[in-house]
Every structure is written in C-alpha cells, then in structure tokens.
Amino acid sequence: MARHPRLALGRAQKRNLFAHVVEDLGTRIIRGDLKPDDPFPIEADLGREFGASRSVIREAVKSLAARGLIESKTRTGIRVLPPTHWNLLDPEVLSWRYSVMPAAQFYSELFEIRLMIEPQAAALAASRATQADIAEMSEAFGEMSKARETGTAAVEADLRFHRAILSAGKNALLHQMGNLIAVGLYISHQASSESFVVFLPQHGQVLTAIRARDPQAARRAMEKLLNETRDFVTSHMKSKKRAR
C-alpha cells in the first residue's frame, strides 16, 4: 500500500526536529553550557524552546541517555553526567566534540589513539587476513588510487581501506574503532586534501606488508603512515592559523 505523502512528510519533519534537539542539547552538554551540577531544563521549557512535542523531547532525552551524556531517574529527574560516562566513540558524540574543541587539540587526541590501535591492527591483519579480506583492502586501495584528492569519494575510499584492516584483525572490539578513524580521516582531508595524494604510496606499503604476511613490516608501515600524516596535517593547521 502506498504511503500518504502528507504522513510521510510529517514523519520526516518530526525526525528532523528530533535530530536538531538531540544535536543542540548534546553540543551544549559537551561545550559545558549544561554542567553535571546544573539543573537540566524541564520538558515543558524544552518543548517551548524547540517548538517540539512532548514525545520528541522525551525521545531526545532517551537518545542522549543512551550516549551516556545524561541520566534520567524517576525521583531525581534528569541530570547531566560527567565526561567519564560519555560514549566518546559514538559518531554523534565525536562530531559534537569536534565542533566545540580546537581542531588541533581534537586531532592530536585522535592520533594518539590511532597510533595505539592501528599499527597492531595491521600486524594482526598480516597474520589473520583471509583472501577475501585482502581483496577488500586491494579494492579500497584501488578506489583511493582513482579518487580525486577532494570530495567524498577520496574520504570514503580511505576509510574503507582502514576499516578493512581493522576487520581483518578478527577482533570485534577493533572493528568498533572505525568511527574514531572516520572522524580522523575527515579532519585530515579538511585540513589538507593534499595529504591524500602525498601518503597514497604509504598506504600501498601497508597493503604490501599485509599481503606478504609480515606482521612486523605491517606494523612499521602503519606507524610510519600515521606519524607522517599527523605531522603533515598538523603543520598545515599551524600554517592556516598563522595566515589568519
């Protein structure tokens, strides 16, 4: 049965309003406008502020609670939780943090974690990857080689390559790091799309080491790629800041 166009439009508008409420409140919490010791705005006030129904506000509260930003209890009401409770690997929370933090600081934090995780992931991939895993990496690298340095195709191909390596490590927890890497790649391409071309050969070196089933070489190649990418993009960020 075909959906009534007005009903479909109404659902889309409600969804967009819900997303707006979640993003606005989430950003306020991460920026510190709403602190753990401060009273959280009551449902009626939020409804008036956003022009949203009670159901939209309640769903937004549930969404923020699922991300660890707030807690809702019957007796004590809603309270903001300290940053130690936040799900920092959630794509939305990562995005909100990026929007309120100095880009260089956020980028530095990301690369500290990537350097802890991805070299070992590459080593595991060299030991554990199936032929299908290596084919996926190869296809992703091929897409990177054909993609222009700007635009979403380059970022998506780059992310596909790194996700394939995480997946080839055959560790479900490693695979969850993909969201973190996605944000790191997005920032890298924003700061300097040139880095995509400069470091394409080093991605090829990582792939070659994994194909050769050489864990140590894969680890070294990934460490080199990440360290040099970090230094390159950080330098571009500083140059842009001085030029302003």
Task: Report the range of poorest mean pLDDT among 6-10, 60-64, 143-147, 205-209.
Answer: 6-10
pLDDT-derived band of residue 148, with 50, 70 and 90 as boundaries?
Answer: low
Residue 5, pLDDT > 70, answer no
Identify residue 44 by its one-letter amino acid code: A
Confidence band of 7 (pLDDT split at 50, 70, 90): very low
| Res 18: pLDDT | 94
Tell me which of 200 and 150 has the higher pLDDT.
200
Three-state SS at 38:
coil
Amino acid symbol at 174: L
Range name among 159-168, 182-191, 210-219 with the lowest pLDDT average: 182-191
CA 91, CA 57: separation in Å to the nearest integer? 21
Decide if pLDDT at 10 tops 80.
no
**Whether the predicted pLDDT of 9 surpasses 50:** no
Instruction: Report the percent of the chain where pLDDT is more than 70.
Output: 89
Assign a CATH topology to domain 5-85: Arc Repressor Mutant, subunit A (1.10.10)
Query: Taking the complete model, does pTM exceed 0.85, yes or no?
Result: no
The answer to whether 168 and 210 have CB atoms below 8 angstroms apart is: yes
Q: What is the dotted CATH code of the domain comprising 101-243? A: 1.20.120.530
Expressed in angstroms, the distance from the first to the final Cα of the chain is 57
Residue 111 CB burial class (10 angstroms; 0-12, 13-18, ≥19): buried
Q: Is the pLDDT confidence value at 11 over 60? A: no
Please give the single-letter amino acid code of residue 230: R
Identify the residue whose tokens are 């969201």. 179
Is the per-residue pLDDT at 65 higher than 60?
Answer: yes
Residues of the chain with CATH 1.10.10.10: 5-85
Q: Which two tokens stand for residue 72?
A: 């809702």
Mean pLDDT confidence for 164-181: 88
pLDDT in tens, 72-91: 887 778 999 999 999 988 88
Owner of token pair 């055959």:
170
Residues whose CB falls within 8 Å of the CB of residue 177, separated by 6 or more in sequence, listed in order: 89, 113, 117, 118, 121, 166
Q: Return the pLDDT at 240.
A: 64
pLDDT, position 2: 46
Comma-separated ranges of CATH 1.20.120.530 domains in the chain: 101-243
